[in-house]
Every structure is written in C-alpha cells, then in structure tokens.
Structure 1
Amino acid sequence: MTIRKQRLNPRKQPVQIRSRATVDAILIAAAQVFEAHGYAAGTTNRIASKAGVSIGTLYQYFPSKEAIAVALLEQHISETGHRLHEWVGHMVVEQHGLGEALHDYVTEMMHIHSRQPRLQHMLLEEIPLPERVHQALLESERNAAKTMAGLLRLFPEVRQGVPEHTCFVIVQTVESLTHRFAVHPDDQFIPRTTFVDEIVAMLVAYLTYEALPQNAS
C-alpha cells in the first residue's frame, strides 16, 4: 500500500462499543470543524479538541485529516442511500401522486444538503477519493437510479418503459441542483420553496411527455 493510500484509509476499525463511540465522536467533531473552519484550517488538533480526545487517540484510528474526510464521505453515501430507500417505502405506503412524491424527494435531498452545506461541498468537490470510495459513489448512483425506476413504474401517467438511464438523469439532476442551491444560498434569486416547485415541474414534464416520432416535422 502506498503512503498516499495509507493516509486516506482508517488506521484500524473500531470493534468494541467504546471504540465505536470514540470514532463517532471524532467524525461528528470533524464535520463541525470542517463546516466552521473549512478543510485547510480543519486540523487534526482542532478535531481532537472538539471531540474531547487526545491527538494520540485520534491517530489510533485515522492517520490524517484526509482519512477522516473520506470516512465522512462514506457516511454521507450510506446515509443518502438509506434516505432514498426510506422515501420509496413511504411513497409506496402513502400512495402519493407523482408530483407529490417528487416534491417529497426533492425536499428531502434539499434537507440533506442544507444541514452542513460547506461540509457537503468539501466532501464532494475537494477531497481526494480512494478508488474504493470512488467505486462506492458510482455504485450508489446506479442503485439510486434502479430504486427510482422501480418506484416510477407505480405511476400510470409516467411514459411507459422508463429506463434506468432516465432515472439516472433524474437522480443526477436533483443531486446537482439541490447541492448547488444549498452550498450557495446567498447567490440564489428565487425562494427555496419556489426552487423546489420548479424542479418538480421540470421532472414531471420530463417523465410524462410524449416524444414526437423521429420523422415528424
């Protein structure tokens, strides 16, 4: 394993309850430090102090702040996938209409990105990704598209045979737009509620339009 890979991977995995609690405290503290101070100023000393552990204890689990950031990104990937599956289950039970279902989805993604927008931008744009995390991110995107495709089959107004690549476009569009809005809220010239409504209207139109025959004028 190269030195670079060693710096991006956890030093050891927590097994005991106390060890897991220590790692959780470090990750929570790191998220708060990165959000408040940014990545460059988010030093391991600051993280350890915020977590209430010694710097030596931090280094028992993470060899660098890069490794901590990677762990936070893995946590974000897992949480986003979990939230998507929860949303699908809720939509199936509640039997919401297409517009309402999509509104709930966009609102939930906005909520995820708005909680710690500076951290979200850092995780997705600034940190170097080990290959395993890059592959995990790609796999999560594919799984999200499959999950979305399965749900949309329940809505008769959606054009027939919606393929997974259509749902991939939907997932990527919502991810990109909500991320951009949450990270730069002061740059936006429309209210948040209007922004969500506009995305939903766009998605409904995209999913329900009837494509013209290729030879149509």
Structure 2
Amino acid sequence: MPSAGRRLDPRRKPRQVRAELTRERILDAAAHIFVEHGYAAGTTNRIAEHAEISIGSLYQYFPNKDAILAELLVQHVDRGTWTQADQLDLSAGSLEAMVRALVRDAIDNHRDDPQLLRIMIEQAPMSQDLRDTIARHGKLRVGQVRELLARHPDVGVRDLDTAAELIVLTVEINTHKFMADPRTTTVEPMENELVDMVTRYLRGSR
C-alpha cells in the first residue's frame, strides 16, 4: 500500500474528447503494463511509453501509478452495476433462479482479466473517489436486491434491509476472491455452492 502522504486523486479531469481519449489510453496502457510486468515493475515510464505519450503528459493526468491503479479500480466498480435486475420476472422464476442471476452477474463482472483483478485487490490504494464509488455502487446494488427480496413470495428472512446487505457482501467478497485466484479452473462449482447457500438462507424457516 502507498504511504498516506501520496496523492491519489487524478490531476486533470478531461473536458474535451481528445483529453478523455488520452486519459483512457493511459489507463489501458497501465492495465497492460501491470499485467505484463507486475505492479512493482509497472513504472509510469513504461506506462507512458506503451500509451505513446510523454511522461510529462502522463503526469498532467495522474500524479503517480498508485493514482492510476486506484482509477482502474474505480472503473471496475462502476462497471459492476446489475443492469438486468429490473428485468427479472419473479412471477415466473424460482427463488433459486433469482439468486443465480445475482451470482452469475457478479461472476460475469469479474471474468475479463483475473490477473489485473488480483493486482487491484492486493495493491490498489483507497482514494476518496474509490471510497465514494464503492459506497455508491454498494447502495445501488443493496437497493436492487432488497426490492427483489420484497417482491419474491418465497423469501422468509426477518429483516429485508439486513438480508440485502449480507447477500451483496457475501456474493461480492466470495466472487472477488474466487475469480482473482490463479488456481481457479472452473467457476461452476463455486457458483452452485454460493447459490445454494444464499437460497437456503433466504428461505428462512419456510
């Protein structure tokens, strides 16, 4: 983890298309360099070279590689919105099917690059932007899950608010850990066990 005194916020927020494209080139280059060389050896000079910009241009956008990694994690969290939640037909689906849709969505959000995901989990510093993004994403996902629980006739938990938070936390933590594990060979057993566990919990005493 970086020292507390290191600046993590991006230096420049793009207002023009060209600037936004340059910023995205830096982030794409950083993702490639971190995976290819590892985080310790993924220097800003290497990132700038891969992005085909000067090191001075890179520093116009980010003060250091910690800030770049923090921004990559912000983007990762933002991409994790459950866009299909409002499309579930609870009248036609079982409780297990609803839970599987939630678990599978979380898995799909972490399939792209397990090695980069592992680097982000192990190395990414906590910028204020990252804290705000995690809080916003968590509030949205918990709200979506709570609404589904309230509508499904087979849910038998005592407290919907607490249940929704527990489910989101359980699914997210286990999915992150499993998908970032280099030993992972197949996802199906983990998916099935996680679905069974959450489904049994939601049924309560019914």
Q: Give TM class, smaller chain.
A: 0.7 to 0.9
Report the TM-score when normalising by structure 1: 0.83
Match of 1:46 in 2: 46
Which whole-Å deviations, capped at 9, do the CAs of 1:26-60 have from their partners, x for residues lacking one? 11121222222222111111211222222121111
Unaligned runs of 5+ in 1: 212-217
Match of 1:215 in 2: none
Distance 1:131 1:13, change over 3 A: closer
What letter matches 2:8 in structure 1? L
What letter matches 2:79 in structure 1? E
Which whole-Å deviations, capped at 9, do the CAs of 1:67-93 have from their partners, x for residues lacking one? 11111122122111x3x1x12123259
Paired with 1:62 and 1:97, the residues of 2 have a C-alpha distance of: 48
Unaligned runs of 5+ in 2: none
Match of 1:130 in 2: 127
C-alpha RMSD of the superposition: 2.3
The question of whether the paired residues in 2 share the 8 Å contact of 1:107 and 1:196 is answered with yes
Match of 1:33 in 2: 33
Q: 4+ residue runs of structure 1 moved beyond 4 angstroms?
A: 92-95
Paired with 1:135 and 1:187, the residues of 2 have a C-alpha distance of: 30
Match of 1:116 among 113, 116, 119: 113
Match of 1:214 in 2: none
Distance 1:110 1:94, change over 3 A: farther
Distance 1:156 1:4, change over 3 A: same
Paired with 1:27 and 1:94, the residues of 2 have a C-alpha distance of: 43
Match of 1:164 in 2: 161
Which whole-Å deviations, capped at 9, do the CAs of 1:112-147 have from their partners, x for residues lacking one? 223222222332332221244324323432332122
What letter matches 2:87 in structure 1? H
The answer to whether structure 1 residue 203 and structure 2 residue 198 are counterparts is yes
Match of 1:70 in 2: 70
Give the share of equivalent positions with the same residue, in percent.
Answer: 33
Paired with 2:149 and 2:123, the residues of 1 have a C-alpha distance of: 34
Distance 1:112 1:36, change over 3 A: farther
Distance 1:111 1:133, change over 3 A: same
The number of equivalent residue pairs is: 203
Match of 1:59 in 2: 59
The answer to whether structure 1 residue 4 and structure 2 residue 5 are counterparts is yes
What letter matches 1:108 in structure 2? D
Which whole-Å deviations, capped at 9, do the CAs of 1:153-206 have from their partners, x for residues lacking one? 221001166422211111111111111111114167xx4212111111111100
Structure 1, 56-65 or 95-104: larger mean CA deviation: 95-104
The question of whether the paired residues in 1 share the 8 Å contact of 2:114 and 2:182 is answered with no
* Post-superposition offset of 1:95: 5.2
Paired with 1:70 and 1:94, the residues of 2 have a C-alpha distance of: 41
The question of whether the paired residues in 2 share the 8 Å contact of 1:113 and 1:182 is answered with yes
The question of whether the paired residues in 1 share the 8 Å contact of 2:73 and 2:124 is answered with no
Paired with 2:126 and 2:11, the residues of 1 have a C-alpha distance of: 16
